[in-house]
């Protein structure tokens, strides 16, 4: 029998395959490109392409594609076959180094936010050799970056790779000051935990709102929701288990380190976590994981919902981005060390993250801003829209002691003399001690919890990497020019704690009082919605920082603002139109039909016996009738609000109008419809209810 060990990575052109199929000099040269970013020469590329093609064909592949991540948030591919006609009327299978390195998809229909006018359709994709090629179906997929011809990034991978490079550069500067001359490279690592809902295909097909928008736009609360909390970590139902089993196999073949699955808090909600890898590979793998999940689900008659808030009144789905930085020597820079020397270094990197998160709260909020995620952030289950850091009581106490120069009141009372004392041991994983913090330290990594379940993790990591790179740059500038390294270092750590401690909060992030304290006393930002936060992407301090590190050009930032805001507007407008349509053509007629039949029944009863009061029928018909009137009125108001958006050119203005009017009207229309649902006979209701959806998978 084949074991996992036999097939793990069998569809990946990974290091093992490269080593065994490439000539030694080609392999060495490719490794240099992968490890050190050295440019690849065309002869090497040709040799790699030939080996890749032979390997892919031996695995049944007939096509190849440059696989990239445009600003739509999903992945894109255009398939070309390997075949080239031969003079004898047959074909030969060809794939050149040129085709490996560069592609030219017709890029005109991908969003570019004005970067590339549609008539200038040409964009190109460029191979990212740091992420292995893999086979999907019959296609060899080559991970690539996607740029316009004048070099602007049109995708999410390019800025991500740039942000990793920025972090590498600044972290190396700091490490040199600590005497680490042997370290060649510093990388950020991520393990993204993915939450999702699973419903049956049959239920999915019968819910037009889910089919069109990914979430329920209507639906009254089921008699049983998540209040019993009996789903969390409960045993997995056979059908779900079968799905997970096949999913694991498919992911393992692709070299994706799927590690844990469990049930989440809401019924029908689950989570999958991989073992962490470098940020760009984790990003590629997360995109691929979502795609494969949907494919495998469909084989099991299931559908995966990645929407951040598919069901009102139930927990939504997020993605926990576990982030750390480590050297090529394997040292995790966010891990408290064994010696005083290591600990000062740890404290400095910790301070860099604290400063970064405080200085760039807005960018972190922006990096997770979508219409879907707005339903989640700030609701009573996900981190609030206010960004803060959880450090745990012990580490916080250490920092306070350092700042004030007072004894540290830990297990033993000690003065913390930087560079002399060993830090006390912190509990390794305090994840469960605080699940309400947006940015939690969990022993040797940070967990950024604000990401929505459908988000690409690229955006969040671009912002984390860049803002930490910026903090390290400021530190390195000061330390490199210091006359006395030790004392400057000491001052720097103390000052950073003093200036940025407002961002540290170990309490309950769901608490209303916290939001008050955060905004009123501490001056932290609270951008509740996407239209609130997005414009700040173009704030001077943010543009300066991101361009300084070469992560984005100013033009790219403007285009991202346009794309993200437009995406927000389009998403809500589609939802609103879908609501209007369903309310008008399905819900109102159903309620009306039921009311008419109830009235008919009452009339029939009265015909039998005029003395019958028919109070039940009369009251019900009155209520239903007033509800259909309300539905009609709200449909009208919402349609008018949507019409008013047509003439608005500026996306920012449009977004604000949607936030201020459209969303409220959608809420009101839903309320009327949901109330009608509770009064209408089930046999008249046009689609499955929440209970049907949530308990459909057995």
Binding site for ligand ADP (CB under 6 A): 189-191, 193, 273-276, 322-324, 332, 429, 431, 442, 444-445
Burial string for 436-455 (b: 16+ CB within 10 Å, else e) reads bbbbbbbebbbbbbbbbbbb
Query: In this complex, which beta carbon is closest to Mg ion, that of residue 213 or of residue 461?
Result: 461
Residue 274 interacts, among ligand ADP, Mg ion, none and using kind-specific CB cut-offs from 5 to 8 Å, with ligand ADP
- Residue 110 or 189: the one with the smaller Cβ distance to ligand ADP is 189
Q: Which does 332 bind (CB under 5 to 8 A by kind): Mg ion, ligand ADP, none?
A: ligand ADP
Q: How far is the CB of 191 from ligand ADP (least distance, A)?
A: 2
Instruction: Name the burial class of residue 416, with classes exposed (0-12), middle (13-18) and buried (19+) by CB atoms within 10 angstroms of its CB.
Output: buried
Asked if 304 contacts 198 with a C-beta cutoff of 8 angstroms, the reply is yes
Please report how close the Cβ of residue 273 comes to ligand ADP at its closest, in angstroms. Answer: 4
Q: In angstroms, what CA-CA distances link 281 with 129, 160, 191, 256, 684?
A: 11, 11, 10, 9, 50
* Residue number with CB closer to ligand ADP (432 or 483): 432
For residues 658 and 638, the answer to whether their CB atoms sit within 8 Å is no
**217 vs 258, beta carbon nearer ligand ADP:** 258
- As a whole number of angstroms, the distance between CA 120 and CA 115 comes to 10
3-state secondary structure 66-124: EEECECCCCCECCEEECEEECCCCCEEECCCHHHHHEECCECCCCCCCCCCCCCCCEEE
Residue 162 near which of Mg ion, ligand ADP, none (CB within 5-8 Å, type-dependent): none
Report how far residue 512's alpha carbon sits from residue 115's, in angstroms, rounded to the nearest whole number. Answer: 42
The greatest distance separating any two alpha carbons of the chain, rounded to the nearest whole angstrom, comes to: 104
Q: From the CB of 388, what's the least distance to Mg ion, in Å?
A: 17
Residue closest to ligand ADP, measured at CB = 191
CB of 508 to Mg ion, least distance (A): 18
In sequence order, the 6+-apart residues with CB closer than 8 A to the CB of 286 are 192, 194, 274, 319, 456, 457
Residue 449 interaction partner, one of ligand ADP, Mg ion, none, beta carbon < 5-8 Å per kind: none
Q: Closest Cα to residue 390, out of 349, 357, 434? A: 434
* Residue 33 contacts which entry, Mg ion, ligand ADP, none (Cβ below 5-8 A, type-dependent): none
CB of 259 to ligand ADP, least distance (A): 7
- Cβ 70 to ligand ADP shortest distance, Å: 26
- Among ligand ADP, Mg ion, none, the one that 391 touches (CB under a kind-dependent 5 to 8 A) is none
Smallest distance, ligand ADP to C-beta of residue 188, A = 8
Residue nearest to Mg ion as judged by C-beta position = 431
Task: Output b/e per residue, 107-131; b: 16+ Cβ within 10 A.
Answer: beebbbbebbeeeeeebbbbbbbbb
**Closest separation in Å from C-beta 36 to ligand ADP:** 22
Residue ranges binding Mg ion (CB under 5 A): 320, 431
Nearer Cβ to Mg ion (431/628):
431
Angle at 109 between CA 105 and CA 112, to 5 degrees: 95
Report how far residue 503's alpha carbon sits from residue 265's, in angstroms, rounded to the nearest whole number.
28
Of 300 and 319, CB closest to Mg ion:
319
Residue 273 interacting partner from Mg ion, ligand ADP, none (CB closer than 5 to 8 Å by kind)? ligand ADP
Please identify, using beta-carbon distances, which residue of 336 and 531 lies nearer to ligand ADP.
Answer: 336
**Shortest Cβ distance from residue 271 to ligand ADP (Å)?**
8
Q: Whose structure tokens read 């994709």?
A: 125
Residue 429 interaction partner, one of ligand ADP, Mg ion, none, beta carbon < 5-8 Å per kind = ligand ADP
Tokens representing residue 515 in the block: 């939001």
Q: Which does 343 bind (CB under 5 to 8 A by kind): ligand ADP, Mg ion, none?
A: none
DSSP 686: S
Which of 289, 388 has the CB closer to ligand ADP? 289
Least distance from C-beta 194 to ligand ADP, angstroms?
9
Question: Which is closer to ligand ADP, CB of 273 or CB of 423?
Answer: 273
Tell me which of Mg ion, ligand ADP, none is bound by residue 324, counting a contact when its beta carbon lies within the kind-specific cut-off of 5 to 8 angstroms. ligand ADP
Q: Which is closer to ligand ADP, CB of 66 or CB of 320?
A: 320
Cβ neighbors of 208 (< 8 A, separation 6 or more) are 578, 581, 582, 586, 687
For residue 378, the minimal CB distance to Mg ion (Å) is 20
Q: Least distance (Å) from ligand ADP to the CB of residue 697?
A: 23
Backbone angles phi and psi of 338, in degrees to 5: -95, -20
Beta carbon nearer to ligand ADP, 102 or 433: 433
DSSP state of 262: E
**From residue 220, how far is each of 202, 312, 433, 579, 672 by CA, in Å?**
20, 8, 33, 15, 10
- Measured from the CB atom, the residue of 21 and 436 that comes closer to Mg ion is 436
Contact partner, 123, from Mg ion, ligand ADP, none, Cβ < 5-8 Å per class: none
Q: Three-class SS of residue 434?
A: coil
Cα 426 from chain centre: 29
Question: Which one of ligand ADP, Mg ion, none interacts with residue 553, CB within 5 to 8 A by kind?
Answer: none
């Amino acid at each position: 029998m084949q074991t996992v060990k036999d097939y793990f990575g069998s569809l990946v052109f990974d290091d093992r395959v490269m080593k065994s199929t490439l000539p030694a000099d080609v392999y060495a040269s490719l490794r240099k490109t992968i490890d050190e970013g050295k440019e690849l020469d065309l002869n090497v590329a040709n040799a790699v392409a030939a080996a890749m093609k032979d390997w892919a064909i031996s695995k049944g592949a007939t096509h190849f594609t440059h696989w990239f991540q445009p600003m739509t948030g999903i992945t894109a591919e255009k398939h070309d076959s390997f075949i080239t006609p031969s003079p004898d009327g047959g074909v030969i299978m060809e794939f050149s180094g040129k085709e490996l390195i560069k592609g030219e998809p017709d890029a005109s229909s991908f969003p570019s936010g004005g970067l590339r006018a549609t008539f200038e359709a040409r964009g190109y994709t460029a191979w990212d050799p740091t992420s292995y090629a893999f086979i999907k179906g019959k296609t060899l997929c080559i991970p690539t970056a996607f740029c316009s011809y004048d070099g602007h990034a049109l995708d999410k991978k390019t800025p991500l790779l740039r942000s990793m490079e920025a972090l590498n550069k600044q972290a190396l500067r700091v490490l040199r000051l600590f005497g680490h001359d042997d370290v060649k490279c510093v990388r950020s690592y991520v393990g993204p935990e993915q939450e999702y809902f699973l419903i049956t295909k049959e239920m999915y097909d019968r819910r037009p709102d889910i089919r069109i928008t990914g979430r329920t736009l209507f639906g009254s609360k089921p008699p049983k929701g998540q209040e019993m909390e009996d789903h969390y970590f409960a045993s997995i139902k056979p059908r779900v288990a079968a799905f997970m089993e096949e999913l694991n196999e498919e992911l393992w073949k692709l070299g994706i380190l799927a590690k844990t699955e469990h049930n989440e808090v809401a019924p029908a909600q689950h989570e999958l976590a991989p073992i962490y890898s470098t940020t760009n590979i984790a990003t590629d793998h997360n995109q691929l994981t979502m795609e494969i999940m949907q494919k495998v689900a469909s084989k099991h008659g299931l559908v995966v919902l990645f929407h951040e808030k598919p069901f009102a009144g139930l927990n939504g789905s997020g993605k926990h981005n576990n982030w750390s930085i480590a050297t090529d020597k394997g040292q995790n820079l966010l891990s408290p060390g064994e010696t005083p020397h290591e600990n000062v270094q740890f404290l400095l990197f910790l301070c860099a993250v604290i400063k970064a998160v405080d200085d760039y709260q807005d960018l972190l909020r922006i990096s997770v801003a979508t219409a879907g995620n707005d339903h989640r952030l700030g609701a009573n289950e996900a981190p609030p829209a206010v960004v803060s850091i959880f450090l745990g009581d012990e580490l916080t106490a250490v920092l306070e002691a350092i700042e004030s120069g007072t004894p540290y009141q830990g297990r033993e009372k000690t003065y913390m003399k930087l560079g002399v004392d060993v830090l006390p041991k912190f509990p390794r994983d305090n994840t469960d001690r605080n699940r309400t913090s947006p940015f939690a330290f969990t022993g040797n990594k940070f967990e950024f919890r604000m990401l929505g379940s459908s988000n690409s993790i690229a955006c969040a990591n671009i912002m984390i990497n860049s803002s930490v790179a910026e903090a390290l740059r400021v530190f390195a500038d000061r330390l490199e020019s210091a006359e006395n390294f030790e004392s400057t270092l000491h001052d720097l750590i103390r000052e950073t704690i003093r200036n940025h401690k407002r961002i540290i909060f170990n309490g309950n992030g769901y608490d209303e009082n916290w939001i008050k304290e955060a905004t009123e006393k501490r001056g932290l930002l609270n951008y509740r919605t996407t239209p609130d936060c997005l414009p700040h992407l173009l704030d001077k301090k943010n543009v300066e920082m991101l361009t300084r590190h070469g992560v984005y050009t100013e033009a790219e930032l403007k285009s991202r603002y346009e794309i993200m805001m437009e995406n927000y507007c389009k998403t809500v407008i589609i939802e609103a139109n879908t609501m209007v349509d369903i309310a008008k053509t399905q819900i109102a007629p159903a309620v009306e039909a039921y009311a008419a039949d109830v009235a008919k029944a009452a009339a029939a009863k009265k015909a039998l016996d005029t003395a019958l009061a028919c109070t039940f029928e009369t009251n019900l018909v009155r209520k239903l009738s007033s509800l259909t009137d309300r539905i009609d009125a709200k449909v009208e108001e919402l349609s008018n609000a949507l019409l008013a958006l047509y003439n608005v050119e500026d996306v920012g203005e449009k977004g604000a109008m949607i936030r201020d009017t459209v969303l409220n009207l959608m809420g009101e229309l839903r309320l009327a419809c949901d109330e009608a649902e509770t009064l209408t006979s089930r046999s008249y209701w046009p689609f499955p209810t929440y209970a049907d959806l949530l308990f459909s998978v057995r």
